[in-house]
Structure 1
Amino acid sequence: MFLSPPLRIDDLTLFDGWYVKERQSVVTNGSHFVWVGPTNQCSDSLSGGIARIDGRGLFACPGFIDSHLHLAGLAAALSGHDLSNVFDSDPNTFLESLKSVCKEDMQSDWLRFYSLDYFDALDAGLLNRRLVDSAIPDRPVMIRFNSGHGVLLNTLALHRLGINESTSEPPGITLERTIPHGVLSGVILEGDEILSKNMPAIPDYQLVSGFKLVNRLLNKHGFTCVVDATRTNDMERLCMTRNLVATGQISPDIVFMPGYEHIGEFRSKDLTYSSVYGGIRIGCAKIQISLSGGSIYPNSSDLRGIINHSHRQGFPVSIHAVERECISIAVDALCRSRMNGDRIEHASELDDRTLSKLAHSGVSVSTQPAFLHSYGDRYIQRSDSSKLQMLYRISSLNKLGISVGFSSDAPVTYPNALGSIYSAVTRKTFRGNVVNDDETISPMDSMRLLTNVNAVICGVGEQKGQVKAGYDADLVLMDHNPIASDIEDILEISVRLTMRRGEILYDNL
């Protein structure tokens, strides 16, 4: 049943963004909360003639916010050919998967595959274009890694992109070569600029299908606001996203980060940080620091210049920094030039020195606890104990008063708020190992970081993240209380209703 606002819901167990309260009512006027408080104090004058829901047995919280994902990448992955099930496999299984898709998909020019695990593929000896050629020699093939930061291409795809053995590596991009022969392997790391400029666009029918799946996924999991943190975001992508919103193909509210190379396009349209364009809020300028080529790019001097330029144009920055070395130069640079709204994305490896500087910088963090569950076993296998102690230091960030929010980095992991809570509380891997249990946090804190804190670090803290009179009527109803449940039962909890600004997006009551 899809109820039209205004709406009153009674007798809820409510987490309002700060605390859990029993027997609460919420009343909306269509787009905002107009009353929140004990059910026995809610006047009938507030609910005359409006729809009502009996909330007994239900848990309510502010709409979930994913503070870092990639909408088009998620749409492509959900509608493309999935290789996430190709792990610990031999080359023959991998090749048969490619051949099967080639036979089934006769419509596409380029064959696009997604979600191949780079490290599993590396261990299995799959990262070689000649191997892909043996399965599909006569159609261009792109296989995107689940990290989102690299692809494997066959020989024809390299040729179509104009890449050959004499091609020079652009700054920050790695064209991997085989050892010992030094020929192109077909692996390109951090090469989205090359791909976006030279590959044909994903067919409209596939994108439409993909965005429908994205919207369904976000609505079902209680997300009412997301941040598109794609480094290549430009005005063309913003216009596409605006059309998706206008036609109802994407329901959650969107904060859109422009790539720092494109902020001039936004300024030419009088758009800057916090501007609203077709219902979409403009976010920080996205910068990426990479170690993929063996050295940090951009270097510290260039990074400071990029940050200063972004700030002068009216944009705080959002810096992708995963490795300890990258995070260190990012924090050092932001300590020299600080603007309200500056963020670090990921902050996966934090040493004590950088953690301390981060605490004094005022910079916020968006990190991904679900990576511990999805990739924690690999971290344990490939990292020594000192490095494991630096991974996803959520408790330390929280205790030091650093504003840290949760995100999925979708399509690296799919948006799942309850999965993020489980990972942050248990720090368990897929196989049940635990990664540095000194950094666990409580379910209450996890819920706060997913809602209230995420709203603040995304620049929407005065409208979202709390169930409070005057705030956007963003609400999630669940069948159990994840804060009071046994931690091993959290993943079994179901979202029953998702409401964004008073509109019911998902209803399974």
Structure 2
Amino acid sequence: MSRAVPDLFLHNVNVLTMNHLMPRASWVAIGQGRIIGVGPGEPPLGTCERPARAIDCQGATLIPGFNDAHCHVLATVASLLAVDCSPATVSSIEDIKGKLETRSTQVTNDAWIRGTGYNEFYLQERRHPNRWDLDQATSDHPIRLLHRSGHAMVLNTRALALASIYRDTPDPPGGIIEREEGTGEPTGLLLEMNEYLDGVIPSLSNVEIQSGIGLFNDLCLALGITSIQDANPGNDLERWEMFTDFKKGGLLTPAVTLMAGASHVHQFVQGGFSFGYRAHGLRLGAVKIVVTMTTGVLQPPKEELRRLVRNAHLGGFQVAIHAVEAEAVEEAIDAILLGAEGSVPGALRHRIEHCSECPPRLINKLALNGILVVTQPGFLYYSGERYLAEVPGDRLPWLYPIGSMRVAGVRLAAGSDAPVIPMNPMMGIYAAATRTAESGDALLSGKAVGVEEALSMYTLGSAYASFEDGVTGSVEDGKWADLALLDRDPTVVDSEAIKDIRVVMTVASGKVVWER
């Protein structure tokens, strides 16, 4: 216990510390943004002497603030401002058309209309909307309707024309323009074409971004999220400067680790940045590389992937490789092993993001070589019904095998992948511990983890994944006072109640920044 007088003293509280040397405590003292004392029973004499604020937590449960190890901040901002077409708000293409038509009456002539979050599996029609569907919503405005995954979108006819996508337009490298059988006309559905459309679909205005980042900040704090790791592969030096402005302007409270896009990392190096550079509550994180099989072919090609990983590793950067399918996961592992050849396994804590399909032999390979997995258990809840319907039976045991990874010794961190699914960490913890889909169906419950292990994934595990476990992620002396107060203890409530647990207070750097 430091001799400093606390600024904030939390008592009569059930503390889940994530520190195996002291798993539980009943009081926490905070000074100058850090934890200066924590312990069980009654605090030592003088601990609570003249604190600026003392809070009787009335037996509520205190945990380290959540750390979303994989999210997309600006995409989430855009989704908060867009027309919500997620399964929670629409059940048919007619519903989508109605919502887009309503938005068309609220914007200026020729303004783009952005919809987001649709999932064809949960639509009555069980198909993607097409350009002609969207034309019925409005032909006066270009429309872009983004799929929940972020890897597909639908444009209406006006938007296709603005993008110069016609019958004779070839598929761009790595992308697919779906075409009507017989005529060859684009249907409006585009796969893996976000970069291709850069400059066609206008970016959000500064006013929109300022408004949206405020909504995003409020969302994080209400969910007890005090750290975020932005995994956008487009992150460049300009994006770093934007986030610096957010932090300096007080618009974004959570600590931010910004990954560097693989095609932009040279900008950071030339600017004098190195891995882990920190300023204004913003930290430069891993090099983000995206490996996909969406088009049926590995992108980027194997040799290019290995070159990207090797260059990042030699530059002292951690890599974070997006890999979903088992084939992509294996290529990502092999690229890391070749890129890190000659170094101590796990020294740079290289990560695979998602690792959604992972057979046992790859789990063992991950564990043996100290490769982390940053997983998103919430997909089991929000997409479980679809997985049960569409994933081949022989591959279902490979799907988010978090429990098997834990037993094998794979280090795990967790995030949301927002805006793909909602950010709420409690939903991810529920899914990790129960493997129950929104429909109520279970997905191989033997692959689950315990509730405390799930909590650790969203706190200390995520901090470890970004080399911040020495300063955050657990309730310990000397660490930043980033904390979340819950209305119930997730380790003792009925498992079905976990998803209904609410945050009642959030503390960031020692300050109470949100209260219910």
Question: What's the TM-score once normalised by structure 1's chain length?
Answer: 0.94
Shift of 1:466: 1.0
Secondary structure, in 3 states, of the residue corresponding to 2:260? coil
Correspondence for 2:112: 110
1:117 and 1:498 map into 2 onto residues whose CA distance is 32
One-letter code aligned to 2:359 = D
Whether contact under 8 Å (2:76, 2:418) holds in the other structure is yes
Matched, 1:419 2:427: yes
Structure 2 gaps of 5+ residues are 341-346
Correspondence for 1:495: 503
Say if 1:291 and 1:123 are closer, same or farther in 2 by CA, change over 3 A.
Answer: farther
Shift of 1:392: 0.5
One-letter code aligned to 1:192 = N
Matched, 1:61 2:63: yes
One-letter code aligned to 1:13 = N
Correspondence for 1:14: 15
2:470 and 2:95 map into 1 onto residues whose CA distance is 52
One-letter code aligned to 1:294 = G
Say if 1:27 and 1:152 are closer, same or farther in 2 by CA, change over 3 A.
Answer: same
Residue of 385, 389, 410 corresponding to 1:381: 389
Secondary structure, in 3 states, of the residue corresponding to 1:408? coil
Residue of 483, 488, 512 corresponding to 1:480: 488
Correspondence for 1:397: 405
Q: 1:348-382 deviations in whole A, cap 9, x for unaligned?
A: 00112211111112110111111111010011111
Whether contact under 8 Å (1:8, 1:47) holds in the other structure is no
Range 99-108 or range 339-348, more displaced: 99-108
Q: Which has the higher helix share?
A: 1
Q: How does 1:237-316 map to 2 (within 5 A)?
A: 237-316=239-318
Shift of 1:131: 2.5
Range 332-341 or range 54-63, more displaced: 332-341
Shift of 1:21: 4.8
Correspondence for 1:199: 201
One-letter code aligned to 1:15 = L
Q: 1:463-495 deviations in whole A, cap 9, x for unaligned?
A: 110111111111111121111111111122221
Structure 1 gaps of 5+ residues are none
Correspondence for 1:70: 72
One-letter code aligned to 1:364 = L
Whether contact under 8 Å (2:19, 2:476) holds in the other structure is no
One-letter code aligned to 2:27 = S
Secondary structure, in 3 states, of the residue corresponding to 1:389? helix
Q: 1:266-324 deviations in whole A, cap 9, x for unaligned?
A: 11211121011433100101000111211111122221111112222332211000111
Overall identity of the aligned pairs, in %: 30
Say if 1:54 and 1:381 are closer, same or farther in 2 by CA, change over 3 A.
Answer: same
Whether contact under 8 Å (1:256, 1:281) holds in the other structure is yes
Correspondence for 1:158: 160
Matched, 1:456 2:464: yes
Correspondence for 2:52: 50
**Aligned-CA RMSD value:** 2.1
Whether contact under 8 Å (1:27, 1:47) holds in the other structure is no
Say if 1:321 and 1:126 are closer, same or farther in 2 by CA, change over 3 A.
Answer: closer
Range 442-451 or range 81-90, more displaced: 81-90
Say if 1:194 and 1:43 are closer, same or farther in 2 by CA, change over 3 A.
Answer: farther
- Work out the number of aligned pairs and report it: 505
Shift of 1:221: 0.8
Secondary structure, in 3 states, of the residue corresponding to 1:74? helix
Say if 1:290 and 1:98 are closer, same or farther in 2 by CA, change over 3 A.
Answer: same
Q: How does 1:56-135 map to 2 (within 5 A)?
A: 56-85=58-87, 89-106=91-108, 109-120=111-122, 123-135=125-137
Secondary structure, in 3 states, of the residue corresponding to 1:217? helix
Shift of 1:401: 1.2
1:88 and 1:384 map into 2 onto residues whose CA distance is 27
Whether contact under 8 Å (2:83, 2:99) holds in the other structure is no
Question: What's the TM-score once normalised by structure 2's chain length?
Answer: 0.93
Say if 1:312 and 1:369 are closer, same or farther in 2 by CA, change over 3 A.
Answer: same
Correspondence for 2:344: none
